[in-house]
């Protein structure tokens, strides 16, 4: 009789291990995916569906709809934008003591109006210093792929807007980027 009792105990452990544990893991993963917005949730589409049509149209008519410039900024028209070329930058990348790597970068700044050019020239040393300090801490891996380039562009845009305030720089454009 003891043999049968032991068999049932082992069977119960196997049931827990092979059936209940995977079900709990799948349920937990599904809950995590739902809460983070990866599945279900509706996100932005649900928010748009809840808004009434008159409110959405009114926002678009007032200039606040999709595709409109953020508050306080003019719409970006590439034909009327002003571009300012920064001097070429050559920096050592952070390799953690491994072989030496360099980044050669040529950047243009997209300004809102021609009158901003002298103001940018006035703070050019601050802009270059801010870029160089950031770029020297970059690793080669940080610059790989389109996501790395996008993050670099966003960080440089933030830094130039801080350094050039009150001038608003709309975009940082890469004319040349070479990692060696």
The pLDDT of residue 71 is above 70: no
Q: How far apart (Å, rounded) are the C-alpha atoms in residues 169 and 158?
A: 9
Q: Give yes or no for a contact between 123 and 163, defined as CB atoms under 8 angstroms apart.
A: yes
**What's the chain's length in residues?**
180
What is the residue-wise DSSP string for 76-110? --TTT-EEEEPPPEEEE---TTSS--EEEEEEEEE
Average pLDDT of the residues of the chain: 76
The pLDDT of residue 62 is above 50: no
Over residues 49-73, the mean pLDDT reads 45
Lowest mean pLDDT among 24-38, 81-95, 101-115, 150-164: 24-38
**Secondary structure (3-state) at 123:** coil
**Secondary structure (3-state) at 111:** strand
Say what the pLDDT of residue 7 is.
55
Note the pTM of the prediction, 2 decimals.
Answer: 0.56
Query: Any alpha helices (H) in the chain, and if so which ranges?
Result: 2-15, 21-36, 43-50, 53-61, 116-122, 124-136, 145-163
**Secondary structure (3-state) at 175:** strand
Based on the number of CB atoms within 10 Å of its own CB, is 81 exposed (0-12), middle (13-18) or buried (19 or more)?
Answer: middle
Segment holding 178, helix H or strand E: strand 169-179
Residue 140 structure tokens: 């080669």
The torsion defined by the Cα of 154, 160, 163 and 167, in degrees rounded to 10, comes to -110
Give me the residue spans of the domains in the chain.
2-50, 82-179
Over residues 75-99, the mean pLDDT reads 81
Q: How far apart (Å, rounded) are the C-alpha atoms in residues 110 and 124?
A: 14
Q: How far apart (Å, rounded) are the C-alpha atoms in residues 90 and 3?
A: 77
Domain 82-179 in CATH 3.30.479.30? The answer is yes
Residue 107: other Cβ atoms inside 10 A:
22
Say what the pLDDT of residue 65 is.
46
Q: How far apart (Å, rounded) are the C-alpha atoms in residues 171 and 160?
A: 10
């Amino acid at each position: 009789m003891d043999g049968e009792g032991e068999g049932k105990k082992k069977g119960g452990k196997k049931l827990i291990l092979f059936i209940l544990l995977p079900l709990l893991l799948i349920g937990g993963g599904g809950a995590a995916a739902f809460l983070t917005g990866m599945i279900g949730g509706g996100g932005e589409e649900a928010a748009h569906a809840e808004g009434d049509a008159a409110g959405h149209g009114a926002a678009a008519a007032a200039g606040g709809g999709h595709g409109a410039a953020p508050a306080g900024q003019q719409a970006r028209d590439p034909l009327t934008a002003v571009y300012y070329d920064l001097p070429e930058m050559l920096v050592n990348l952070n390799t953690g003591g491994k072989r030496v790597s360099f980044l050669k970068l040529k950047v243009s700044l997209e300004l809102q109006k021609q009158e901003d050019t002298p103001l940018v020239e006035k703070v050019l040393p601050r802009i270059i210093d801010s870029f160089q300090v950031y770029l020297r801490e970059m690793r080669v891996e940080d610059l790989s792929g389109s996501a790395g380039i996008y993050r670099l562009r966003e960080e440089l845009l933030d830094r130039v807007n801080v350094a050039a305030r009150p001038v608003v720089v709309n975009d940082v454009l890469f004319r040349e980027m070479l990692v060696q």
